[in-house]
Amino acid sequence: MGGSVPHAIKMTEELGKDGFIAIMVESQGLAADEIGGFMAQRFPGSELFLTNEAPFRGAEESGGIPFAMLVGIDGTLLWQGNPNGAVKKVEDLVAAELKKIKTGWGATPEIKKARALMFSKGALGEAATLLASIEQNIKEDAKADFDAAKAELDRLYASRKAGIDGKQKETRFDDAEAMAKDLAKSVKGNADWEKEVATIVATFAEAEMAKEVKLAQQIEKIFHTNGKKKPTPDLAKKLRDLAKKNAEAKAVLLAEKRAKQAEYVPH
């Protein structure tokens, strides 16, 4: 397993809020539905992007692990190799990219500021207002970058809405509600988006949904009883008892998933 997972967790905890993402690709055949259990037992409390499918292969990949690739803010592959032998190199490259996220980048000062607003501040509404204000006067040599920034903003808004849907499909109604409320703050300044997100936020106040949110919160509280220590099998019983009392709720699926993770025994 090496030290790559703990290092990715540490970097995510320290830099996730600034725009760092770690995608952990399990490459020794662990089934997709086992990865969550494995991580809960071995790395409790960690929040990483987990999959068992590599998105692409690196040219320097020999087939052995650990192997990592670092992708920059514009989708360029910045580095690839064994992360255990290049901790400082990776951290320096990450720091340089995070600096760009903080200050923004672009062909004009306004595009640069708009990118800082959307990617660093999460201020999507303000970024949309700024881009709209310069659209008529954008010079020909900056037009392609302006269009790119606008497309990035639209994609960011769409992905944050998709995240709310995704969390509901996972029956993490608690997270979905928090993400909806957070998005409502982010879109302030753009009337269309404000209206659309207000509708989404309102769904969480409906009686049935409010029950699902409350149940998901209870499930997560039980599952994380031990904090940074691994969940224990006795929590599985508590989760299943709670599920029995709420058999009609959608969040019972979350209770069962968490129960399985609590009693999962790593290979």
Partner 1 sequence: MLKRSGTIAFLAVSLFIAGFASAQGGVKTGDKVPDYTFRWSENSTGMNSIADMRGRVVLVDLWGYH
CA of 114: how far to CAs of 72, 73, 106, 135, 179, in Å?
Answer: 18, 15, 9, 12, 22
Q: Measured from the CB atom, is 68 or 236 closer to partner 1?
A: 68
Q: How many CA atoms lie within 13 A of 142 on its CB side?
A: 18
Residues 8-20: b if buried by 16+ CB within 10 A, e if exposed:
bbebbeebeeeeb
Work out whether 119 is an interface residue with partner 1 (CB under 8 A).
yes
**Residues 126-185 contacting partner 1, CB under 8 A:** 152, 155-156, 158-167, 169-170, 179
Work out whether 256 is an interface residue with partner 1 (CB under 8 A).
no
Name the amino acid, one letter, at 232. T
Could you say which of 74, 135, 206, 241 contacts partner 1 (CB under 8 A)? 74
Q: How far is the CB of 86 from partner 1 (least distance, A)?
A: 11
Work out whether 251 is an interface residue with partner 1 (CB under 8 A).
no
**Residues 19-48 contacting partner 1, CB under 8 A:** 19-28, 30, 32-33, 35-36, 38-39, 47-48
If we measure between CA atoms, which residue out of 164, 236, 234 comes closest to residue 202?
164
Work out whether 101 is an interface residue with partner 1 (CB under 8 A).
yes
Q: Which two tokens stand for residue 172?
A: 């993490």
**Residues 77-96 contacting partner 1, CB under 8 A:** 77-80, 83, 90, 93-94
